[in-house]
A and B are shown apart, each in its own frame.
Chain A
Amino acid sequence: MQRSTLLAALAASTLLLAGCATPADDGVTLVLVTHDSFALSDGTLEEFTEQTGVRVDVQPGGDAGELVNKLVLTADSPLGDVVFGIDNTFASRAASNGVLEPYVSGDLTDAEAPFLLPEASGGEYLTPIDTGDVCVNVDHRWFAEAGIPEPQTLDDLIDPRYEGLLVVEAANSSSPGLAFLLGTIAAYGDGWYDYWSALIDNDVKVAASWSDAYYVDFSGPSSEGDRPLVVSYASSPPVEVPAGSTGVLLDTCFRQVEYAGVIAGTEHPAEARQLVDFLFSTTVQNDIPENMYVFPVNAQATLPDGWAEYAQIAENPYTIDPAEIDANRERWIQEWAAIVQP
């Protein structure tokens, strides 16, 4: 009696395991592998299911770098059908390792052309979905109270007048930290070593993570610290309360673009392409800012209230060719660490 109960339990748990591994019904379910910051409103992905009958299972896989590396390591048994969240700093690694099917959404127009990647860096594999600038954020109230004009440019940050006011994230443990480093490399070329030495001399603070820099060291209204300048996102000010209490130094921005693509080896290539198109559609694009704190790339998308007013987009952000980033990332990070963390 007892033995048969045990057997039944074993059988049930085996079925349960099997159930977890394969979709139960005959409709297609796509696995959408994303970075950890992926979020959409309830019902947005369900609209895709209503339109196409295809269900979407979201599977987060770390930050952009971790995501791409996972795809590379699992190339012989893919993690999913569609990937979202590969950014311009890792795009070239994804493209050169053959983990993506060549496909770019046909719905793109000339208006989105600036977001497309160069041919050799994943241009034929990745569809741009959202963009966000990593910029120095400024606490307006602090500067008003101190009676000092706010800095404007990267050069200003090494001005002794702004000594001890900036906190940045470490380039070897934080993606905005790396983006800021890339911005300085784009701005100064090989002169970036000297720039960073000057930043150190000007008492820049290096924090391990964004949360750490923003919430502990920054002096903004939701933060605890006393430094009025922090490396964060261009989208941070609109969500601060009261809105407008912080702002962005538009001449310090490095542009990040996040892409979606079809994972090589998918069993449902047609549906996977539909999902990439859907991510570019205004249904998703309108939903992106409030959920992921970045800007939609689709020129037809509408921004939520408050964004038009407080969210600023740099006109001439710093950029570096993704292939160059991929070729030099390790060396740059190690050289940076040697300067900042001797």
Chain B
Amino acid sequence: MRAAAPAQPFAAALPWWLLILPALILMLAFYAYPLGEVLWISVTEPEPGLGNYERLFTSPAVQRVWMTTLRICVITTVITLLAGYAVAYVIVSSPPGRQRWMFLLVLLPLWISVLVRAFAWVTLLRRQGLINEALLGAGLIDEPLRLIWNEFGIAVGMIHYMIPYAVLPLYAAMRDIDPRLVPAARGLGASRFEAFRHVFLPLTRPGIIAATVLVFIFSLGFYVTPAILGGGRTLMVAEYIKLQILDLIRWGLGTMMASTLLAAILLLLAVMARIVDLRRVFGQG
């Protein structure tokens, strides 16, 4: 830094890309190289060829993991979007002073470790957990409900984690809507529902798409929450990869799944980019 100030003319003569070179080297060494290695292993272990990828079509176990992952992701995304939409709507319709507090409450979970949150859900949902004990005590159920170590538990934990990511883009989209539009629609003869359906909802479309992409892609690669709340019985892709590589030492299969996951996410983004302008969706339009 000390040398940079007097050397202004020299700095100006420097090619611009030299400035990002350290970062570039760091990225290549610690990100691109391992990623390339993963791709490489997936087509070389245990023997060269596309044998690992063939399993996508032949192995029931691999297919089951993918189906489970997609099902949980779709359920999570749908419920998160519905809940996030409601939360964002309430925030937007509140006076500015209260909005700040509501935001704090929405963002608060982001500052708590995902591990802590997953275990918190375990204490709530397990057989002797708060919910089961309360329901039993109230006489509403005769035996504990199975709320955890299954897809239900995973979905609960993931929805809880994802809601802020849905609220933020939805809030941004709603805030930009002229507050007179809905009253205008009603003045023109639309009922509350029609005004929402034909005016408010279409105008939040960019926010809905952004939130969907964000939540769905995050959900696809989710590891900690499904690992803890699934209890090893319900396997999602990320946990399956960890299982193959660390426990079963089947690098070929694990890296194939990782590569497929990456490809799926890129494909999803490519499809989205075709439908909508992603830069606008993420607020840089």
Asked if A pairs with B, the answer is no
Binding site for A on B (CB under 8 A): none
